[in-house]
Amino acid sequence: MNSMNRIMEDISIDCVIFGFTNDLKVLLVQHGEGISKGKWALPGGWITYDESLDQAAYRILYLLTGVKDIFLDQMKAFGAKNRFPDKRVVTVAYYSLVKTEDYDLVAGFTASDVKWFKPDEIPRLPYDHNEILEYAFRQLQNKVRHEPVGFNLLPEKFTLHQLQVLYESILRIKLDKPNFRRKILNMNLLMDLNEKQKNVSHRAAKLYQFNSETYDTLKEKKFVLDL
Amino acid sequence: MNSMNRIMEDISIDCVIFGFTNDLKVLLVQHGEGISKGKWALPGGWITYDESLDQAAYRILYLLTGVKDIFLDQMKAFGAKNRFPDKRVVTVAYYSLVKTEDYDLVAGFTASDVKWFKPDEIPRLPYDHNEILEYAFRQLQNKVRHEPVGFNLLPEKFTLHQLQVLYESILRIKLDKPNFRRKILNMNLLMDLNEKQKNVSHRAAKLYQFNSETYDTLKEKKFVLDL
DNA sequence: TAACTTATAGTCAATATGACTATAAGTATT
DNA sequence: AATACTTATAGTCATATTGACTATAAGTTA
């Protein structure tokens, strides 16, 4: 490390990465060194003098977990006085939504392990990481209603049922199937692929894909999924 | 200053305070010292080791402008590499919405003057303050549609027309009067005060007030003003 | 072939929307 | 005092959206 990329002593980054395949998951890393060695925590680290906050977030996430080429969104800076032991540290939290299947997890740098955790299996995390995570869950619930963002979490081809399960598991509510279908299909956001799912022990559902043009338009314009 | 509240060298706070009376305004302070002496900028300053980010924001805003007892909401941390000259500084931006009439502006601390600026009269600001302000405007436009927050900006008693002008000036769109009335009145958010405005040279409009119970409920629940 | 499971289609009353028109209640002008 | 403005408020109407359902279709497994 040359003098230019020495770390800033009091600003860190933490990432909350939500993943989805059949259910919602969160990405955690196990600390391989330091005072909290062995503990699971949000992927995070120090920023250096020669990078922006955003660059730091991408670098740290990649080094620790192997996850890259995703869209990281800044969420909030956490700056309670004693959130970090023995030292005053402000952390800037980022968050993202990905399909778990798309990424090979590779523990690196100071991380000895990386794993997807179900929301109800998340252990007690160091510092204020549980608080950050809680905040991220609420953020996700809001976001999903105002941006067609939930779709990031699904495979390229998906059924309406998968989409419904996604919304149900994020919002923690039960939705009426026919009405959900009608609403989504009327938004013109999906392209019918004229394909069906395979290897299911019941009537196979149609597969859909995003209509990325409509998707981008809706992202710009007001999008409200009032479920 | 004792050793406990010495400043952190690389983290600052900046506040974007939106005000409204008849139109939308932004609060700026004039620097009374330092390299940008004489320039107008967002109210901002350094955080100290003995306060949280939120506390720092309230303190700094009060010291510079005299504005206190408002709800400050953290917006985003800005951390581009060269946003600040000669030094690496990450700033955490806060924002708020207030009624201009409720606050007496008092320039203090390092500020030689404080003033409300109309959006189109805002000068070139130092650092990345124009960028922060742009971000805040977009944030405000989004927020106003998903929270009944616009009401913070009006006097206690107001007419439906004032409310409409408020939304029009934030969203920069024209709204249909009868439809706007119908929509707002059906939300059950307003209490008819059975009073009328005075000293207008045309038919006087009814005055309304918030129904703060409904207001709080809507704040919790999904609120969507789809204008 | 029947029973089961999930997908998909459709019904219907109630409500909300957008684009208007109409009237009411004042002030200002002649 | 009558008329012209101005803005507030009320109402219309065709169309679209919602929520709560029921019905049927298309497959699997027993």
Q: Report, in ranges, which bases of strand C sit under 7 Å from a protein C-beta.
A: 4-11, 16-22, 24-28
**Residues A20/A100, Cβ–Cβ less than 8 Å:** yes
**Residues A114/A23, Cβ–Cβ less than 8 Å:** no
Name residue A196's amino acid.
K
- Going by C-alpha positions, the residue among A22, A7, A52 that lies closest to residue A166 is A22
User: pLDDT per residue over A104-135, tens digit each?
Assistant: 999 988 999 999 999 999 999 999 999 999 99
Q: How far is B195 from chain A (nearest CA, A)?
A: 36
Q: Taking CB atoms and an 8 Å limit, are B81 and A51 in contact across chains?
A: yes
Q: How far is B62 from chain A (nearest CA, A)?
A: 19
Q: Taking CB atoms and an 8 Å limit, are B8 and A8 in contact across chains?
A: no
Three-state DSSP at B188 gives coil
Nearest chain A Cα to B225, which residue? A224
The residue lying closest to nucleotide D26, measuring its CA against C1', is A203
Tokens of A38: 């062995």
A173 interface with B at CB cutoff 8 Å: no
Mean pLDDT for B195-209 is 91
Nearest chain B Cα to A86, which residue? B49
Residue spans of chain A under pLDDT 70:
1-4, 150, 218-227
Q: How far is B79 from chain A (nearest CA, A)?
A: 5
Tokens of A202: 């019941």
Q: How far is A89 from chain B (nearest CA, A)?
A: 9
Residue A155 CA distance to nucleotide C2 C1' (Å): 36
The helix (run of H) or strand (run of E) holding residue B2 is none
User: pLDDT per residue over B120-162, tens digit each?
Assistant: 999 999 999 999 999 999 998 888 887 777 677 888 899 999 9
Judged by C1' against the alpha carbon of A161, the nearest nucleotide is C7
Rg from Cα positions in chain A? 19
User: pLDDT per residue over B29-87, tens digit each?
Assistant: 999 988 888 999 999 999 999 999 999 999 999 999 999 989 899 999 999 999 999 88
Structure pTM? 0.87
Nearest to A81 among B50, B78, B80 (CB): B50
Q: Taking CB atoms and an 8 Å limit, are A88 and B142 in contact across chains?
A: no
> d(Cα B23, Cα A227) in Å, to the nearest integer?
35
DSSP secondary structure string for all residues of chain A? --GGGPEEEEEEEEEEEEEESSSEEEEEEEE-SSTTTT-EE-SEEEEETTS-HHHHHHHHHHHHH---S---EEEEEE--TTSSTTS--EEEEEEEEEEGGG------TTEEEEEEE-GGG--PPSTTHHHHHHHHHHHHHHHHHHSGGGGGGS-SSB-HHHHHHHHHHHHT----HHHHHHHHHHTT-EEEEEEE--S-SSPPPEEEEE-HHHHHHHHHS------
Residue with tokens 């949000």: A42
> d(Cα B26, Cα B210) in Å, to the nearest integer?
24
- Which chain A residues touch B47 with a CB distance below 8 Å? 79, 90
Residue B222 is predicted with a pLDDT of 60
Residue B2 is predicted with a pLDDT of 44
Task: Indicate the DSSP class of residue B82.
Answer: T
Task: Indicate the DSSP class of residue B51.
Answer: S
Nearest to B77 among A49, A53, A81 (CB): A53
**Alpha helices, DSSP H, located in B106-175:** 129-146, 160-171
Task: Confirm whether any atom of chain D, the nucleic acid strand, is less than 7 Å from CB of A161.
Answer: no
Residue B220 is predicted with a pLDDT of 60
The dihedrals phi and psi of A121, each to the nearest 5 degrees, come to -115, 10
Task: Indicate the DSSP class of residue B158.
Answer: B
Residue B44 is predicted with a pLDDT of 96
Contact map slice: B 183-222 vs A, CB within 8 A:
222
Q: How far is A61 from chain B (nearest CA, A)?
A: 17
**Residues B195/B158, Cβ–Cβ less than 8 Å:** no
Residue with tokens 């080429």: A69
Q: Which residues contact B110 (CB under 8 A, 6 or more apart)?
A: B31, B32, B33, B34, B45, B64
> d(Cα B144, Cα B167) in Å, to the nearest integer?
8
Judged by C1' against the alpha carbon of B186, the nearest nucleotide is C16
The residue lying closest to nucleotide D29, measuring its CA against C1', is A201
Residue A136 is predicted with a pLDDT of 96
Count contacts between A and B (CB, < 8 Å). 66
User: pLDDT per residue over B40-49, tens digit each?
Assistant: 999 999 999 9
Rg from Cα positions in chain B? 19
Residue B1 is predicted with a pLDDT of 43
Residue A148 is predicted with a pLDDT of 76
CB atoms within 10 A of CB A7: 14
B6 interface with A at CB cutoff 8 Å: no
Residue A227 is predicted with a pLDDT of 67
Nearest chain B Cα to A93, which residue? B77
A147 interface with B at CB cutoff 8 Å: no
> d(Cα A126, Cα A87) in Å, to the nearest integer?
14
**B215 pLDDT exceeds 90?**
no
Domains and CATH numbers, chain B: 3-128 (3.90.79.10), 148-220 (1.10.10.10)
Q: Taking CB atoms and an 8 Å limit, are B79 and A224 in contact across chains?
A: no
Tokens of B132: 């922060």
Burial code of A90-106, b = ≥16 C-beta within 10 A, e = fewer? bbbbbbbbbbbeebebe
Give the β-pairing of B90-99 and B7-20.
Answer: parallel
Share of chain B above pLDDT 90, in %: 63
Contact map slice: B 42-81 vs A, CB within 8 A:
47, 49-54, 56, 74, 76-81
Burial class (CB in 10 A: 0-12, 13-18, 19+), A182: exposed
